[in-house]
Chain A
Amino acid sequence: MTMLNNHISRRAFIRKTTHGGAGLTLALTLPSVAGASESGPGKTVGNAAADEFSPNAFVRVSPDNTVTIISKHIEMGQGTYTGLATLLTEELDADWSQVKVEGSEADPKRYNNLLWGPFQGTGGSTAMANSFMQMREAGAKARAMLVAAAASLWKVPAGEITVESGVLHHKSSSSKISFGDIAELAAAQVVPEKVTLKTPEAFKLIGQPVVRKDTGKTSGKAIFTQDIQFPGMLTALIAHPPKAGGRVQSVDASAAKSVPGVVEVLTIDAGVAVLANDFWSAKKGRDALKISWDNSQAFSKSSSDILKSYKSQLEQPGTSVVNNGDFDAEYAQSDVRFDAIYEFPFLAHAAMEPMNCVIQRRPDGVEMWYGAQLQTGDQMQVAGLFGIQPEQVKINMLFAGGSFGRRANAHSDYVLEAAQIAKAYTKAVPIKLVWSREDDTRGWYYRPMYVHQLSASLDDEGYPKAWRHRIVGQSIISGTAFAGMMQNGIDPTSVEGASNLPYHVANLKVDLHTVKDGVPVLWWRSVGSTHNAYSTETFIDELAKAAGKDPVAYREHLLKEHPRHLGVMKLAAEKAGWGTPLPKGRFRGIAVHESFNSYVAQVAEIEEAGNNQYRIRKITCAVDCGLAINPDIIKAQMEGGIGYGLSPALMSEITLQDGEVQQSNFHNYRVLRINQMPDIDVHIVKSAEPPTGVGEPGTPVVAPAVANALFAATGKMPRKLPFDGLIV
């Protein structure tokens, strides 16, 4: 999602939604606050009470001295609530302990992702980057108004007032007052047009490992979608067609309806929904359904067929993405040529909280509670279904139990499923759609399957003179509201990490075969880099070996114009003791990659574990993400990103048999567990560059780093993921 800048087509959403045409301009007006939930969990609306100071959409100060900061971005574990609050609190000079964070309501006008156009959503590691100035300015303006209020109260010049930890002081008159006590007076001040922001030397919070604001998660008190309970609420499970594009032909619901607790069975677009008083009854009801599926329009291929057809396409040139110099001529005349084919399977995101969504029809629209990641898109999709305006879809953004890209779906799949149920059911009661783990594993929107081919020839010194990268796979954005990002038929998310190869190669060619298959696909933590970092970073190691050069020295020679790549690579190498001897049976591998404008290098250290297997001992990681807003969260995201990236390296894959997903739960869609987690040592490059994201960039580097260590150990490079069996 690197290039999402201003490319999301709101019109595409409108086109896709049958009744939403008039929503384009109306969606830009403020949503009505009527119909806000009166009580209960998930009350996330950022509306001020009468005696509060609410200078802008991002902060409120209450008379009880609480500073409430509004996050337009979802908290799904990546630390956004903390990061955004840090930025605003820094300029406000509030005390960190008086700050709490709420999720914003959905509004593409006030809560627009500034890198995406008039569209609210979280993804592409953009939360800090797009909010860096916005949240600081919001804090600075609020501070200026608090100061103006104190100045008028004390009748002193505003310039003589200082602010510290949520208290305003006037030294010479020994006056002081808390934010809470001056809140009401501050609300009467004029919002300043311009404010001066702090210079980095003055930062007190930015750069510090302040404690997180997404609290309640160690006591069981934090509320996720799964935890929402309303009086009279029904739980819904859906029997989904086993093949993508399948539909219900007929259903016998008599046995399901006789299950105690089952209230209703509804055939909807997405399948057959069972509504019951609790999860267990709904599940038993679903198990009792007898459904025949119409698979006439369904996608029915197997992974093996797909692989074969992808491989056959490697023989033909694809759409040209990069063509510098003359690869063909150079490669044809060279004696030293290298060629490698790589295979990447479909991957499920498998967030810890299976997808779910609570919905209630209201007289004036619908209200939803869930881990909303693409608010504006979801609003439009749901509005289209109901024939209402997007702002009549009120969204309460809750904590998400992970996402990794899954909840940022332009198709709004599970959100629309909940909406379909609410629309089809005669009673306007709250309904909680719950996916079981099986639904989640089989629920499509996978990281696409890809096949790559890399070909290169080397110059006399052993450096690549010609390099061609051919990629075959489905497009993630084609046909979605993100299709505006396509350039000349090329989906940038298919080629990111390959088209911007940092290594200096005079004759560089990248081409792409975009396959139109019916498997629903989606971005998966670090998107194109999940596969492009792997093939490029392992191929370069193979070339280094062929040239008889050390992998770090080899890269260094080719990265002369990329100081930030070099910076992280050298730091990781130094901290990992690259070049120093290792005990017998231990090996190292390195990889470096930029994604989402953040630079990450990792050194993997593995050791023999018997039976030709290896154990990963340690990953040493260096990251350059510009100014480090919260070093501890950056470290946590690197640790988490590494663990997440190890699963597809070691064991995860989704495979299809005649169109049906063969995996269902964690016993056969295996993911990393604690006993396979290596030690991790993270180092952050000191930088004054603008902050960039950290949610994704830790992920793509680890698989090639481990593969390169295996290559050092065995002389054989794994070219198919997962490399099951090599690592214990």
Chain B
Amino acid sequence: MGIELTINGEKHSLDVPEDMPLLWAIRDHLHLTGTKFGCGMAQCGACTVHLDGNAIRSCVTPVGTVKGQNITTIEGLQSQVAKAVQTSWDEGAVVQCGYCQSGQIMSAVALLENNANPSDKDIDDFMAGNICRCSTYVRIRAAIKDAAAKIA
């Protein structure tokens, strides 16, 4: 009996153990590699995906706990907010090495979906779970504000 997962609107049945983190099911079994592995213990945010619209850390989410729920990865972003965030990220030349950026974008989209006009403090509080070792933080802040202005 496989585990039923709904990723980016598509249903999959995976033959993996229930305790496998969603991250590895997505990466190693569905071959969606935009979601990154950074720490494996909910410290860095590189693995952020959306579960019914909320940002979660897929590295500490056993697949067995999200059966049948709607999961979105960076590859499945489609909303107007998401497009605005990605455009602002590109226009603001946020990215350096890029390894953290799928997670940053997933968090930023979740933030703006719930708070269309975040303050600096809102941004810092919400994004503090996403480490960027290239320290693109000032541009992340600016891009989130820019995206907020785009969707206003």
State whether B28 touches A350 (Cβ < 8 A): no
A220 beta carbon closer than 8 Å to chain B: yes
Does A381 count as interface, using CB distance less than 8 angstroms? no
Question: Are the C-beta atoms of A402 and B97 separated by less than 8 Å?
Answer: yes
1/0 contact string of B36-76 vs chain A (CB within 8 Å): 11111101101000000000000000000000000001110
Given contacts A674-B130, A675-B125, contact A217 B21 (CB under 8 A): no
Chain B nearest CB, measured from A373 CB (Å): 12
| Main secondary structure on B side of the interface with A | loop
Per-residue CB proximity of A622-641 to B under 8 Å, as 1/0?
00000000001000100111
Question: Is B93 engaged at the interface, CB distance under 8 Å to the other chain?
Answer: yes
Within 8 A of B (CB), among A71-114: 75-79
Identify the interface centre among A260, A437, A667: most chain B CB within 10 Å of its CB: A437
CB pair A350–B34 under 8 Å, yes or no, is no
Whether A437 and B137, one on each chain, are in contact in the complex, defined by CB atoms closer than 8 angstroms, is no
A402→B99 contact, CB < 8 A:
yes
- In the complex where A218-B86, A404-B133 touch, is A353 in contact with B24 (Cβ < 8 A)? no
Complex contacts, A218 vs chain B, CB 8 Å:
86, 89-90, 94-95, 98, 101, 105
Bitwise, B136-152 to A at CB < 8 A (1) or not (0) is 11111100000000000
Question: A667 CA to B141 CA in the complex, in Å?
Answer: 23
Instruction: Tell whether A454 is near chain B: CB-to-CB under 8 Å.
Output: no
Chain A residues lying within 8 Å of B136, measured Cβ to Cβ, are 636, 639-640
Interface residues of A in 124-150 (CB under 8 A from B): none
Contact B99 A674 (CB under 8 A): no
Interface string of A190-234 (1 = CB under 8 A from B): 000000000000000000010110101111111110110100000
Interface of chain A, main secondary structure: loop
CB distance from B44 to the nearest CB of A (A): 6
Contact in complex: B73, A643 (CB < 8 Å): no
Q: By the criterion CB–CB under 8 Å, are B43 and A665 in contact?
A: yes
A642 an interface residue at 8 Å Cβ cutoff? yes
Interface: A235 (CB within 8 A): yes
Q: How many residues of A contact B (CB 8 A)?
A: 59
Report the tally of A-B residue pairs with Cβ distances under 8 A.
173
Tell me if A274 counts as interface (CB < 8 A to partner B): no
Pick from B35, B41, B141: contact of A674, CB below 8 A: B141
Contact yes or no, B73 A665, CB < 8 A: no
Of residues 374 to 401 in A, which have CB atoms within 8 Å of B's CB atoms? Answer: 399-401
Q: A399 touches which one: B43, B97, B132 (CB < 8 A)?
A: B97
Could you tell me the distance between the alpha carbons of A665 and B41 in the complex, rounded to whole angstroms? Answer: 8
For residue B33, which residue of chain A has the nearest CB?
A: A227
CA distance A372 to B83 in the complex (A): 33
Chain A's nearest CB lies how many Å from the CB of B107?
10
CB of B98 within 8 A of CB of A222, answer yes
Is B3 part of the binding interface, using a Cβ–Cβ cutoff of 8 Å? no
Whether B97 and A220, one on each chain, are in contact in the complex, defined by CB atoms closer than 8 angstroms, is no
What CA separation (Å) do A299 and B136 show in the bound complex? 37
Q: Which of B27, B39, B73, B75 gathers the greatest number of chain A CB atoms within 10 Å?
A: B39
Question: Are B135 and A672 touching (Cβ within 8 A)?
Answer: yes
Q: Which residue of A lies closest to B127 (CB)?
A: A674
Q: Contact at A401–B98, with CB atoms within 8 Å? A: yes
Q: Is B128 an interface residue (CB 8 A)?
A: yes
B93 in complex: contacting residue of A212, A220, A404, A667, CB < 8 Å: A212
CA of A667 to CA of B43, assembled, Å: 7
User: In whole angstroms, how far apart are the Cα atoms of A636 and B94 in the complex?
Assistant: 8
- Kindly provide the distance from the CB of A81 to the nearest chain B CB, expressed in whole angstroms: 11
Give complex CA distance A673, B24 in Å: 25
Question: Contact at A352–B46, with CB atoms within 8 Å?
Answer: yes
When the two chains form their complex, are residues B96 and A674 in contact, meaning their CB atoms are under 8 A apart?
Answer: no
**Interchain CB contact under 8 A, A280 and B21:** yes
Interchain CB contact (< 8 A) of A352 among B89, B128, B131: B131
**Contact in complex: B138, A679 (CB < 8 Å):** yes
Minimum distance in angstroms from A297 CB to a CB of chain B: 31
Is A78 a contact of B96 with CB atoms below 8 Å?
A: yes
A354: chain B residues within 8 A (beta carbon): 37-38
Q: Residue A221 contacts which of B21, B34, B94, B135 (CB distance < 8 angstroms)?
A: B34
A673 and B41 alpha carbons, distance in the complex (Å) = 16
Residues of B within 8 A of A644 (CB): 133-135
**Which chain A positions have C-beta within 8 A of B141?**
674, 677
**In whole angstroms, how far apart are the Cα atoms of A217 and B74 in the complex?**
10
Interface centre among A235, A260, A350 (most CB of B within 10 A): A350
A559 at the interface (CB under 8 A from B): no
Q: A219-B86, A229-B31 are in contact. Are A674 and B140 (CB under 8 A)?
A: yes
Residue of A nearest to B76 (CB): A220
A227, A665, A673: the one contacting B39 at CB < 8 Å is: A665
Chain A residue with minimal CB distance to B43?
A666
CA distance A667 to B36 in the complex (A): 18
A64 within 8 A of B: no
Tell me if A58 is interfacial: C-beta within 8 Å of chain B: no
Query: How many angstroms from the CA of A78 to the CA of B96 in the assembled complex?
Result: 6
Q: Does A278 contact B (CB under 8 A)?
A: yes
Q: Name the residue of chain A whose CB is nearest to the CB of B86.
A: A218
Measured between C-beta atoms, what is the minimum distance from B50 to chain A in Å? 13
In contact, A220 and B35 (Cβ under 8 angstroms): yes
The answer to whether the Cβ of B29 comes within 8 Å of any Cβ in the partner chain is yes
Q: Tell me how far the C-beta of B62 lies from the nearest C-beta in chain A, rounded to whole angstroms.
A: 10
A226 to B139: give the CA distance in the assembly, Å: 25
Q: Does B81 contact A (CB under 8 A)?
A: no
Tell me whether A535 is interfacial, beta carbon within 8 Å: no
Q: Inside 8 A of A642's CB, which chain B residues have their CB?
A: 135
Contact A437 B39 (CB under 8 A): yes
Q: Which B residues lie within 8 Å of A665 (CB)?
A: 39-41, 43
In order of increasing CB-CB distance, the 6 nearest A-B pairs are A220-B34, A643-B135, A401-B99, A77-B97, A217-B98, A77-B96
24 contacts between A and B (CB under 8 A): A77-B95, A77-B134, A218-B90, A219-B34, A219-B75, A220-B75, A220-B102, A224-B36, A226-B33, A227-B33, A229-B31, A280-B24, A352-B38, A352-B97, A352-B133, A354-B37, A401-B100, A639-B136, A666-B41, A673-B131, A674-B124, A675-B125, A677-B135, A677-B137
Residues of A within 8 A of B (CB): 75-79, 209, 211-212, 214, 216-224, 226-227, 229, 235, 260, 278-280, 350-354, 399-402, 404, 434, 436-437, 632, 636, 639-644, 646, 665-667, 671-675, 677, 679-680
Q: Give me 5 other A-B pairs in contact (C-beta within 8 A), A226-B37, A352-B36, A640-B136 excluded.
A: A216-B98, A217-B98, A278-B29, A353-B99, A666-B41
Residues on B lying within 8 angstroms of A by beta carbon are 16-17, 20-21, 24, 27-29, 31-41, 43-44, 46, 73-75, 86, 89-90, 93-102, 105, 123-125, 127-128, 130-141
